[in-house]
């Protein structure tokens, strides 16, 4: 998989992609993330990427041309499955979207800034719009990092223990059960007996009960979804 991220702040994204699982995915040749500085596509001698909004009002709008020039250059090199825009008014990104996108080959993510991008890009160029939650970030970069991480870790071979992504919270529509490690008794704080029993059928049954209980308590909305 390849993800191309178009941003006015590439330095904000360099960190998340140079450590941990995302770095491992890159080193293994499974996923690559390329950052494109939108200012390199800016207009005139000021490398302008934004302008005042028609109709007046505070806040700048990101212009069509620089973004489209960057996208067209990328599209001339390969075919893209989706052109994603990160914005608080997009569809709320969830595990289902991550699963779906992890099967794709090439994605572009445009990070919004200021008042956002010109609506015509959203109407004619963008194919998916995602929000990562009901709060406003100062730009779409952190949202792009969150979305990329959620997608890339699902690609087979990225995680060492391949089954571990399958047992994540949300993967079966439920929250994950509690987990424990040694010592079995820490000054009287005991691990549930069943986990020490060696009876794997019983352990699975207990984990499913715990998942259901936790989901009912913390996220009953997940149980209502069909």
CA atoms within 13 A on the CB side of 81: 11
Give the nearest distance from C-beta 223 to ligand ADE in angstroms.
Answer: 25
Q: How far is the CB of 221 from ligand ADE (least distance, A)?
A: 19
Residues that bind ligand ADE (CB under 6 A): 86-88, 112, 131-133, 135-137, 140, 143
Q: State the nearest-atom distance from the C-beta of 108 to ligand ADE, in Å.
A: 15
Looking at the Cβ atoms of 64 and 137, the one nearer to ligand ADE is 137
Residue with tokens 């890339």: 152
Instruction: Check: CB of residue 19 under 8 Å from CB of residue 84.
Output: no
- The Cα–Cα gap between 167 and 203 comes to 14
**Pairwise CA distance, residues 90 & 108, whole Å:** 16
Q: From CA 90, how far away is CA 133, in angstroms rounded? A: 9
Nearest residue (CB) to ligand ADE, 111 versus 174: 111
Closer CB to ligand ADE, residue 4 or residue 141? 141
Residue closer to ligand ADE by CB (options 66, 116) is: 116
- Find the residue with minimal CB distance to ligand ADE: 143
- Minimum distance from CB of 129 to ligand ADE (Å)? 9
- Burial class of residue 220 in the structure, from the number of CB atoms within 10 Å of its CB (0-12 exposed, 13-18 middle, 19+ buried): exposed
């Amino acid at each position: 998989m390849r993800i191309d991220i178009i941003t006015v702040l590439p330095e904000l994204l360099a960190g998340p992609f140079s450590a941990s699982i995302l770095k491992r995915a890159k080193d293994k040749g499974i996923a690559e993330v390329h950052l494109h500085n939108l200012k390199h596509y800016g207009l005139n001698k000021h490398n302008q990427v934004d302008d005042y909004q028609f109709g007046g009002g505070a806040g700048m709008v990101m212009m069509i041309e620089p973004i489209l020039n960057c996208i067209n250059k990328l599209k001339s090199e390969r075919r893209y499955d989706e052109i994603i825009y990160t914005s608080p008014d997009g569809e709320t990104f969830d595990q289902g979207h991550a699963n779906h996108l992890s099967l794709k080959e090439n994605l572009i993510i445009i990070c919004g800034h200021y008042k956002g991008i010109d609506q015509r890009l959203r109407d004619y160029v963008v194919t998916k719009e995602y929000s990562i939650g009901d709060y406003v970030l100062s730009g779409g970069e952190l949202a792009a990092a969150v979305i990329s991480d959620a997608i890339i870790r699902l690609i087979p071979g990225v995680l060492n223990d391949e089954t571990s992504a399958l047992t994540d919270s949300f993967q079966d529509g439920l929250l994950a059960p509690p987990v424990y490690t040694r010592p079995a008794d820490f000054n009287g704080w005991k691990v549930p007996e069943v986990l020490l029993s060696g009876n794997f059928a019983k352990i699975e049954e207990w984990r499913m009960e715990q998942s259901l209980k936790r989901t009912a308590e913390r996220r009953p909305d997940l149980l209502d979804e069909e």
